[in-house]
Chain A
Amino acid sequence: MSSRRAALVDWARAAAEDFEFAAAREWIGERPARKAAGYLPVYAPREVIRASGLLPVGVHGAGEQVEIIRGDAFYQSYICHLPRSVIELAQSGRLSFLSAMLFPSTCDVIRNLSGVWQLLYPDVYVRYLDLPQIFDPRLSLEFWAGEIRRLAADLGAISEAPATDATWREAITLQNRARALIRELYETRRDSPERIPTEELYLLLRAGEVVPVETFIEKMEEYLAATEDEPGPPRDRARVIVVGAFCEQPPLGLVKTIERAGCSIVDDDFLLGNRLLGEDVTLDGDPVLALAHAFLRNARATSTFYEPDPAAKRELMRRRLEAARADGIVFASASFCDPALLDRPMLRAGAEAAGIPCIAFQYAENTGQFQQFREQAGTFADSIKLWGGGQ
């Protein structure tokens, strides 16, 4: 690996694994009135936060890095790990720099966590984001645009720098650029997975959640350029999609284990919110309507949304497999994750009906043992190489 690329990966790792959020704190510290707003998975419109003068900061749990001391007193054993590590971050003061917290309507755990926040941190602006589950603009555009407008007004009052035409334009332009780079990164990995190990891709994306978008854009551009110079040797590996890890993130060790066991991940759901909108948000007209429309038109099908078309649901795995030119699907979900686990039988049935090889397992963000995953993924990769994939 070139030193330039290694330095970029080191930078990404440091930012991604920094649960003191130094980059965000530094940004705030640069000017007295600066503030930041956190958001939980899966999707929050970062443009609104940015246009309203705050720094968007993704709060995606704390993986294996942070020991849970207080969080377990807030959640029963049969609730996924994410909220307890998020509460741990908050109770230990690591999130004290956030003036606002946004809780998207991902599931009932995150929904109720918004209430826990209201109770525990009355000085923080807490907002539950009720993303429309109806994608027909006739029924839901007005509602969702209204939600965005209210959010922008509230955040503008917090920052004392309400959104203007210029800040909307800047925020949308930057976020479009970030999404385009993420798309490019995914396409590059899809076309030549040997060039982009998923560990690196993941670290960059995770870093992108906690640094200013300009920094992310700069680093991504450099990284993509660096990988151009360094095509790795093509290898005989099973091309897989990892499905279901859209909220509580798998430990990095699990991602590495899958790839070390003979698979190349060519598509995934990690940190899905950063590319949930598949296309650019237009700069024409009212920015709020543009953002609302973009969500209703472009939100990617995923387990946290209702799928009105049963055929589309059945075919989703096949479509994704074909788009990624993959051989098989690894269903990897957080334990006790309702959206992923309730969806899995339907997605798996659709995949298997199309003859797609699948395996499934569950993890927690702080899982430290990967032996069992290694064996499962290894056998899966071998069988694909031996018998062929789903294409």
Chain B
Amino acid sequence: MSVETKDRSMLLQKEMIAEHYRRLEQAPETGEPVVYTFVPGNLTELIRSFGALPVLPEINALQSAMRGKSQAYIAAAERSGHSEDVCSYVKCDLGMLRSGNVGPTGTRLPKPDLLLLSYTGCFTFMKWFELLREEYGCPTVFLHVPYQADGRETPEQRAYVTRQIREDLLPALEKVTGRRYDEDRLRESLATSASSEDDLVAVLESARRTPSPIDAYFGAVYYVGPIFSAFRGTEEGARYYAALRSEVEERASRGLGPLTPSGPLDSQKYRLVVEGPPNWTHFRDFWRMFSDEGAVVVASTYTKVGGTYDTGFRHDPGDPLGTLADYCSGCYTNLSLPARVEMLARYVREYSADGFLIHSVKSCNSFSAGQLTILREVERRTGAPGAFIESDLVDARYFSPANLKTRLESYFQMIDARRAGARA
């Protein structure tokens, strides 16, 4: 892979993001309405069909951490009475707000005209937007997305969510934006989403090859960025995914691996499946702990929090509101533990992984509660060795490099020993 082709999708993404934040900064002048919402269950196509711009607070929080700003923000929130025990994304966001609301690209974020509380797969979301509502005093719509406790979305759940969208959310969006609901526009956007989703799945599934042309965790968090945030269903988004796919396919055809902090990882010693979100405060150091050892991640669950497209779901322009309900319901953190186990076990098998690793973060009960049972169950079903490591999302106090490194090194040794045992 040439450096130029690699740069094409990255560059495209950078430009898209910069332009989006520029528009957000100018929104108070241009009058473009702004809707804050969450990554899981984000209804980007719908928001944008009303001419509004989405803001995803989790993305701001993780970007703040990557830029080394989260600790000060968390400290500001804790000083104002927030507990050390709760999700650090929330505190990072509140701290950022109190520190002038300057977003990740250095531009100021506008106030929301609407908080779209898509309650999908995480209890904390509810409190987070109740807290933001106190700060902004803007209208808030609550979209209750039931949990897929029995491993599937039931027709009743679908009807419940669709009804809320139709009867509650659409009127609220019409009121806030001053525009009528335009179903044709939404359909068009959903069709664009589906094509980007095809491209993304092709990219993620390229990791079945050996060597894998991508890192499906550390690398893929960049790949899912546009589709998990403001760009699903947009032309820029579609261009990005087409470019990304051709880059990855080219890399695959040449038998090359991904670019990592340790350089190109063409020679891959360990193929891993990872469960749980990454740490963002030391993202590259963390990645390096893997890439230095020749470990590549071939599948991850974190890259499914904004949609589980690799199980076949595509946004369907033929049923615009129903498909949005289906989308929300299927986001990874809205899946039951048995469904998560099943997904991980399938990844281990289908991606020919040497093992799987759970990165458990202190912040997130939605991900973390039950992960030790997941560990045992996936080990039992696949026979692959599992490992369990812990840190946090954006609170650096819980990232202990020495511990993590030691833990990972012994895990890699364990895989080596298993291999030696299998050969003997």
Contacts from A to B (Cβ < 8 Å):
73-76, 78-79, 83, 105, 107-109, 111-116, 118-120, 127-128, 130, 132-134, 136, 138-140, 142-143, 146-147, 303, 306-308, 310, 313-314, 335-339, 341-346, 348-349, 362
- The CA-CA distance from A349 to B134 in the complex, in Å, is 10
B337-A112 in contact (CB<8A): yes
Q: A76-B368, A115-B370 are in contact. Are A105 and B131 (CB under 8 A)?
A: no
A-B pairs with the 5 shortest C-beta distances?
A115-B337, A128-B149, A342-B127, A112-B370, A143-B160
A306-B365 in contact (CB<8A): no
- The CA-CA distance from A306 to B87 in the complex, in Å, is 18
Chain B, residues 130-143, CB within 8 Å of chain A (1/0): the string is 11011001001010
Instruction: For residue B160, give the distance in angstroms from its CB to the closest CB of chain A.
Output: 4
Q: A119-B338, A344-B83 are in contact. Are A146 and B156 (CB under 8 A)?
A: yes
A348-B81 in contact (CB<8A): yes
B137-A310 in contact (CB<8A): yes
- The CA-CA distance from A346 to B372 in the complex, in Å, is 33
**8 A Cβ contacts from B78-124 to A:** 80-83, 85-87, 90, 117, 119, 122-124
Q: Give every chain B residue within 8 A of A109 (Cβ-Cβ).
A: 365, 369
B144-A134 in contact (CB<8A): yes
B369-A83 in contact (CB<8A): yes
A118-B160 in contact (CB<8A): no
Instruction: For residue B139, give the distance in angstroms from its CB to the closest CB of chain A.
Output: 10
Q: Give every chain B residue within 8 A of A346 (Cβ-Cβ).
A: 130-131, 134
Closest residue of chain A to B94 (Cβ to Cβ) is: A345
- The CA-CA distance from A109 to B160 in the complex, in Å, is 24
B87-A338 in contact (CB<8A): yes
A76-B390 in contact (CB<8A): yes
Q: Is B400 an interface residue, CB under 8 A from the partner?
A: no
Q: Give every chain A residue within 8 A of B372 (Cβ-Cβ).
A: 73-76
Q: Give every chain A residue within 8 A of B285 (Cβ-Cβ).
A: none
- The CA-CA distance from A335 to B362 in the complex, in Å, is 13
- The CA-CA distance from A119 to B377 in the complex, in Å, is 8
Q: A109-B365, A112-B370 are in contact. Are A342 and B144 (CB under 8 A)?
A: no
Can you list 19 pairs linking A and B with CB atoms under 8 Å apart?
Answer: A76-B371, A107-B365, A108-B123, A109-B369, A115-B373, A118-B336, A118-B338, A119-B337, A138-B167, A139-B167, A140-B144, A142-B156, A306-B130, A310-B130, A314-B134, A337-B85, A342-B128, A343-B127, A349-B81
Instruction: For residue A145, give the distance in angstroms from its CB to the closest CB of chain B.
Output: 10
Q: Give every chain B residue within 8 A of A76 (Cβ-Cβ).
A: 360, 362, 368, 371-372, 390
Q: A119-B338, A134-B144, A306-B142 are in contact. Are A338 and B365 (CB under 8 A)?
A: yes
Q: Which of A75, A79, A108, A119 has the most CB of B within 10 A?
A: A108
Q: Give every chain B residue within 8 A of A132 (Cβ-Cβ).
A: 144
- The CA-CA distance from A345 to B168 in the complex, in Å, is 28
Closest residue of chain A to B151 (Cβ to Cβ) is: A118
**8 A Cβ contacts from B311-347 to A:** 336-338, 340-341
Q: How many A-B residue pairs have CB under 8 A?
A: 155
Q: Is B269 an interface residue, CB under 8 A from the partner?
A: no
A342-B124 in contact (CB<8A): yes
B147-A345 in contact (CB<8A): no
Closest residue of chain B to A134 (Cβ to Cβ) is: B144
**8 A Cβ contacts from B348-373 to A:** 360, 362, 365-366, 368-373
Q: Which of A105, A118, A338 has the most CB of B within 10 A?
A: A338
Q: Is B23 an interface residue, CB under 8 A from the partner?
A: no
Q: Is B164 an interface residue, CB under 8 A from the partner?
A: yes
Instruction: For residue A288, give the distance in angstroms from its CB to the closest CB of chain B.
Output: 14
- The CA-CA distance from A90 to B220 in the complex, in Å, is 39
Excluding A139-B167, A143-B157, 14 further A-B contacts by CB distance (< 8 Å) are A79-B365, A109-B369, A112-B370, A114-B337, A119-B338, A127-B149, A138-B167, A139-B163, A336-B85, A337-B85, A338-B127, A339-B123, A341-B83, A343-B130
Q: Is B226 an interface residue, CB under 8 A from the partner?
A: no
What is the interface residue range for chain B against chain A?
35 or more
Q: A108-B122, A336-B85, A345-B82 are in contact. Are A113 and B369 (CB under 8 A)?
A: yes
Q: Give every chain B residue within 8 A of A138 (Cβ-Cβ).
A: 167
Instruction: For residue A262, give the distance in angstroms from its CB to the closest CB of chain B.
Output: 25
A306-B362 in contact (CB<8A): no
Q: Is B126 an interface residue, CB under 8 A from the partner?
A: yes
A345-B80 in contact (CB<8A): yes
Closest residue of chain B to A360 (Cβ to Cβ) is: B81
- The CA-CA distance from A134 to B146 in the complex, in Å, is 11
Q: Give every chain A residue within 8 A of B130 (Cβ-Cβ).
A: 306-307, 310, 313, 343, 346
Tell which of A119, A130, A140, A341 touches B373, judged by Cβ atoms closer than 8 Å: A119
A133-B126 in contact (CB<8A): yes
- The CA-CA distance from A130 to B148 in the complex, in Å, is 10
B146-A130 in contact (CB<8A): yes
Tell which of A79, A107, A143 touches B156, judged by Cβ atoms closer than 8 Å: A143
A134-B142 in contact (CB<8A): yes
- The CA-CA distance from A194 to B377 in the complex, in Å, is 53
Closest residue of chain B to A314 (Cβ to Cβ) is: B134
Q: Which of A74, A143, A310 has the most CB of B within 10 A?
A: A143
Q: Which of B85, B157, B336, B369 has the most CB of A within 10 A?
A: B369
Closest residue of chain A to B90 (Cβ to Cβ) is: A342
B369-A75 in contact (CB<8A): yes
Q: Give every chain B residue within 8 A of A128 (Cβ-Cβ).
A: 147, 149-150, 336
Instruction: For residue B297, give the distance in angstroms from its CB to the closest CB of chain A.
Output: 22
Tell which of A119, A139, A345 touches B341, judged by Cβ atoms closer than 8 Å: A119
Closest residue of chain B to A305 (Cβ to Cβ) is: B126
- The CA-CA distance from A310 to B142 in the complex, in Å, is 13
Tell which of A78, A107, A140, A303 touches B85, judged by Cβ atoms closer than 8 Å: A78
Q: A76-B372, A346-B131 are in contact. Are A341 and B123 (CB under 8 A)?
A: no
A116-B160 in contact (CB<8A): no
Q: A132-B144, A133-B144 are in contact. Are A116 and B156 (CB under 8 A)?
A: no
- The CA-CA distance from A115 to B120 in the complex, in Å, is 17
Tell which of A79, A116, A314, A336 touches B337, judged by Cβ atoms closer than 8 Å: A116
B370-A113 in contact (CB<8A): yes
Q: Give every chain A residue within 8 A of B338 (Cβ-Cβ).
A: 115, 118-119
Q: A342-B90, A345-B82, A345-B131 are in contact. Are A79 and B369 (CB under 8 A)?
A: yes
Q: Which of B85, B156, B341, B372 has the most CB of A within 10 A?
A: B85
- The CA-CA distance from A132 to B370 in the complex, in Å, is 24
- The CA-CA distance from A114 to B368 in the complex, in Å, is 14
Q: Give every chain A residue within 8 A of B150 (Cβ-Cβ).
A: 128
- The CA-CA distance from A105 to B368 in the complex, in Å, is 17
